[in-house]
Amino acid sequence: MKKYITKTKEKNVIKINMRIMGLLNLLMDFKLYGAFAIIYYSEISNSMMLGMSIFSITMISAAIFEFPTGIIADKIGRKNTVIMGCINSLIYAIILALTNSYTGLVVAAIFEGLERAFFSGNNTAFIYDTLKENDKENEYKHYLGKVNSMYYVAGILSTILGAVISYFTSIKVLIVFSVVPRIFEVILAFALKDVKKYSNEDENIFAQVKNVMKLVKNNKILKKQIIADGISEGIGEATYQFRSEFYKMVWPLWSVGIPGILCNVGAFIGSWFSGKVLKKWANEKVIIFSNLFSIASNWLSLLMNNVLSPFVMITNSVFTTDVATSDISQSLYKDEYRSSMGSLKSLVASVLYAIFAILVGFIADWKGAVVALFLAQILKFIVVGLYGKIYVMRKNDKISKKVLT
């Protein structure tokens, strides 16, 4: 009877946390203005480069706070860190809704960066630790895929509603309405069931930083993955945010959100079924194929440069790379530093994104949006090469362990 009650409790904790994390992901990405953000920022700042700089400032802010918030998360617990992230999410949404100046956009971007910093390493660690406490960590890919799929549901719904509302009103109205989901975020975060803290309470922050850096330094696979994912996420996010400038060259302004809807539909399908796909194919193989396909589809769409281009550009959205990379990462992290190590990885991605966003905007001002997006894809070949090495190294590690046993 006791065993039955314990198992029921465990199932309930997993169920509650996964549902709430899924809903939080839905609310986090429910931004009615998302598809029009670069257009709005460029209008306010009178420059595509300055418009892209807002995204850069967000990531610079995230980079500055990334590692400290990861350290804090391991100390104060996963639930409290989620709550802190949600509060910052509400603050930046309110500032963005109230401002009409470039300075205001910068301030909002700083708070958005702080929100990202609290969420980045902590939220996946929260999901993993919830499962680990209940001996279900082997199902991480399955649960992460389902939870992450809510990001794309948010993208679909917010883009459709955003397109309709913007047609009758303005982008500013979309930004004001986007404050509402942030309020619900904060309320929901308090309903999470907290998980065990693995960090050493007696270990000071400086010792924790030293140990994390040492662990990363001594892990050749993790070092390569941090660099590969930093480039992939950095250039991927920069080009994704900039795509609207290309879309409006071949489609009317009111329709630039449609490719985003289709992209999110593909990503939702890929994420929802990622557990099954990644059981059949190695994480690294999926990541390598996805990057090669992304390069080919982007180059083809840019060379076509016509009304069909957006459809071609979004065909790579079905690949489950975020789940695959996270699954590799979690297997390499230490329990007591899981959030800190995740934050260090996100820090590299944030710094690279900040650089790439400015570069993409600069090249676009200089040579045009097509050239900027075309050149950006070249960097993905580095990701392919690094993940090829990671695949070989992880395969050799598994062979070595089998021989030893």
Q: In the prediction, which pLDDT does 38 show?
A: 81
**Position 104 in a domain:** yes
Range of 324's domain? 2-193+203-398
Q: CA-to-CA distance for 13 and 26, rounded, in angstroms?
A: 20
CA max distance for the chain? 71
**Tens of pLDDT, residue by residue, the chain (405 residues):** 444 444 555 568 888 999 999 999 999 889 888 878 888 888 888 887 788 788 888 878 887 887 788 778 877 888 999 999 999 999 999 999 998 889 999 999 999 999 988 887 788 888 888 888 888 888 888 888 889 889 889 988 888 888 888 888 888 899 999 899 999 999 999 999 988 776 666 566 677 778 888 888 888 898 999 999 999 988 888 887 788 788 888 888 777 778 878 888 888 888 888 888 888 888 888 899 999 999 999 999 999 989 999 899 888 888 878 888 888 888 888 877 777 787 788 788 878 887 888 888 888 888 888 888 999 999 999 999 999 999 998 888 766 554 444
DSSP 291-332: HHHHHHHHHHHHHH-STTHHHHHTGGGG--HHHHHHHHHHHH
* Number of CB atoms found within 10 A of residue 112's CB: 24
Dihedral angle of Cα 108, 338, 211, 394, to the nearest 10 degrees = -120
Q: Report the chain's C-alpha Rg in angstroms.
A: 21
Q: CA-to-CA distance for 381 and 327, rounded, in angstroms?
A: 22
In the numeric block, the tokens 């279900």 are attached to 136
* 3-class DSSP state of 100: coil
Cβ pair 86, 269 in contact under 8 A: no
* 3-class DSSP state of 307: coil
Domain total of the chain: 1
Q: In the prediction, which pLDDT does 199 show?
A: 60
Cβ pair 159, 38 in contact under 8 A: no
Q: In the prediction, which pLDDT does 399 show?
A: 60
Q: Which helix (H) or strand (E) is 344 found in, with range?
A: helix 338-367
Q: In the prediction, which pLDDT does 398 show?
A: 67
Using the 8-state DSSP alphabet, how is residue 192 labeled?
A: P
Domain containing residue 273: CATH number: 1.20.1250.20
Q: Which of 314, 317, 271 is nearest to 143 (CA)?
A: 271
Q: In the prediction, which pLDDT does 292 show?
A: 94
Q: In the prediction, which pLDDT does 165 show?
A: 87
**Position 145 in a domain:** yes
Using the 8-state DSSP alphabet, how is residue 136 labeled?
A: -
**Position 95 in a domain:** yes
Q: Which of 368, 246, 256, 390 is nearest to 305 (CA)?
A: 246
**Position 327 in a domain:** yes
Cβ pair 74, 333 in contact under 8 A: no
CA atoms within 13 A on the CB side of 203: 17
Alpha helices in 169-273 (DSSP H): 171-177, 179-189, 205-217, 220-250, 258-272
**Position 198 in a domain:** no
